[in-house]
Amino acid sequence: MNSRKRNITIAAALALAFALVLGVGPVFAVHIGTLEIDGNVVNDSTDAGEDWEDVFTFPGCGFNTNSEASIGSCQPDPAPLSIFTGGGSKDEQDIPNWKWRNGSVPDKDDLTNGFAAVYSATVGTETHQILYFGADRFANNGDAQIGFWFFQNAVSLNTTNGTFNGTHAVGDLLILSNFTGGGANTNIQVLEVTAINANGSLTFTTLTSASGGTTFTCDDTAGDGTGPHKICVATNAAAVDSLDPNYDDKFGTAAGTYPPVVFFEGGLDLTALGLGGECFPAFLVETRSSASIDAVLKDFTLKELQSCVSSVSTAIRNSVGDDITGTTVPVNTVIHDEATVTGSQGLPLPTGTVTFDRFNNATCTGTAAATETVNLSTGTVSGNTVTVETADFTASTPGSLCYKATYSGDGLYPSAVSDIEPLTVSRFDSAVNTRILLAGTTTEVTNQAINLAGAASVAVQDEATVAGSVPTPTGTVTFTRFSNGNCTGTATTEDVTLDASGKALSATFALGPNTLSYTAIYGGDSNYNGSGVSKCEPVCALNFTTTQTQQ
């Protein structure tokens, strides 16, 4: 971004007290922020600003992303498309009273293109939101009354019944630019809708206005002709290059050339009017039968402009910043949640807070296990987004967890809720350790020969201890007992629930003069994976005596 362009002051020297002879173009360019308001579309290379040729590309009326404009929108309107019809199609009436059809209007009222752009520009030491608007028409044989609506609600055409979708909102702006006397007399008004009455009529307040005996005029805060200006408008006093190189007017002017007084442009400093936080999802350019607010409306173009909603996107990240949302991570992974709140291009950044809720399930339902609120003022700014994050959290409990973020909203942006963010924390690994005991004792006899000493049998049992971390493993251990010493062949199984210390004992078994062996396996629980099979544990019992040798 060229900082020199951004620091153009709204106060531009302008001598309004002069006589402009039709056919002699302005020799000045005034800035409301950045865009040149000089009655043409060409960027004056000696000036530090932009012009409409930097904002839109033709053919196609595309938005040039290399422009400094935050956002721009352009709508061609070749005849005989989209004209007003019906007695209720007046500026003083709410949108549901308007009607439209495809048809023709007088050539001087026939729009060919309508366009608008929003800039965020440095004015003095402040950042101002600047609204620019422009249009061109098919013929210049007559005075031009042109209006620019900027709507705070979405507005579109109903192609089924010839009406308009949408309604006015308090705060909608109507800019009336009237060029009379062949364009040499200019009058501008900026009106704001302050009430929508029960009968469908509108009440307006005039925010600023100006008039001048030239094809160019501005309002003048200082009252001495030098600015600063809240609004400036201009039409072309002489033939100039057109925005669309294929533009062709009624009277056969060379292609790509505007004859005098067919091009209109203006700039409005929203911030200077106390409207820097306004957002306009749609705009409409209109031609009118007269300057009166109850004039019959003629032609129009209608197009979307700004995206006037906030959104919040989120991601669970690990300690190195990887997005791990929806994955499975090892237990004891250190994580945090991140939320990015996105505002509208050309508008101030979102303010307010983001509240993060963490749930101990995969669906973010029920009561949150933890809640943390973070102010956006502490976040990281990138373009029209602000990113904040939670404190670190160690996912020490295997299972599912879920984050959800809620943006509070502010005076400009509505609140917004993120999608849910699930995460699976893997279970601990486990191992099972076993030993054969003399029943009812802690005496181990694994891999030993037990002397029956004449007894018919000896009572033995297997003990399994599941090795884990914290918490203590729960669930069951399956013991398998074989009638040989190598854990093969026919076997008997037994499931035993672990006690509070993570141990299990098999039932006692009366072992006669024979051999047996055990294996054990742990089935796992919500915190631990199941174990592998333990090693084979043999034991045998037999009668044997000690023989003494006499000396």
> What would the pLDDT profile of 496-518 be if each residue is shown by its tens digit?
999 999 999 999 999 999 999 99
**Of 523 and 123, which is predicted with more confidence?**
523
212 vs 532: CA distance, rounded Å? 92
Domain locations along the chain: 3-11+30-304, 311-425, 431-542
- Poorest-pLDDT segment among 119-128, 206-215, 315-324: 119-128
158 vs 65: CA distance, rounded Å? 30
Give the pLDDT confidence score for residue 386 in this predicted structure: 97
**Of 116 and 123, which is predicted with more confidence?**
116
Can you give the pTM of this predicted structure?
A: 0.65
Contact 258, 249 (CB under 8 A): yes
What is the rounded average pLDDT of the residues 20-35? 51
276 vs 123: CA distance, rounded Å? 12
> What would the pLDDT profile of 341-378 be if each residue is shown by its tens digit?
998 876 778 999 999 999 999 999 999 999 999 999 99
Question: Checking phi first, is residue 194 left (phi over 0); if not, alpha (psi -120 to 50) or beta?
Answer: alpha
Helix (H) and strand (E) counts for the chain? 2, 42
* DSSP assigned state of 197: -
Say if strands 515-522 and 537-542 run parallel, antiparallel, or are unpaired: antiparallel
Give the pLDDT confidence score for residue 309 in this predicted structure: 81
> What would the pLDDT profile of 223-234 be if each residue is shown by its tens digit?
556 667 899 999
Question: Going by C-beta distance under 8 Å and a sequence separation of 6 or more, which residues neighbour residue 238?
Answer: 23, 24, 25, 260
Highest CATH level, class, for 311-425: mainly beta
Give the pLDDT confidence score for residue 278 in this predicted structure: 86
30 vs 230: CA distance, rounded Å? 12
> What would the pLDDT profile of 131-165 be if each residue is shown by its tens digit?
999 999 999 987 788 999 999 999 999 999 999 99
Q: Does domain 431-542 have CATH number 2.60.40?
A: yes
311-425 and 431-542: identical CATH topology: yes
522 vs 531: CA distance, rounded Å? 5
Q: How confident is the model at residue 273 (pLDDT cuts 50, 70, 90)?
A: very high
Q: If DSSP codes are grouped into helix, strand and coil, which group holds residue 544?
A: coil
Phi, psi values for residue 80, rounded to 5°: -105, 55
What is the rounded average pLDDT of the residues 2-23? 28
What is the rounded average pLDDT of the residues 212-216? 83
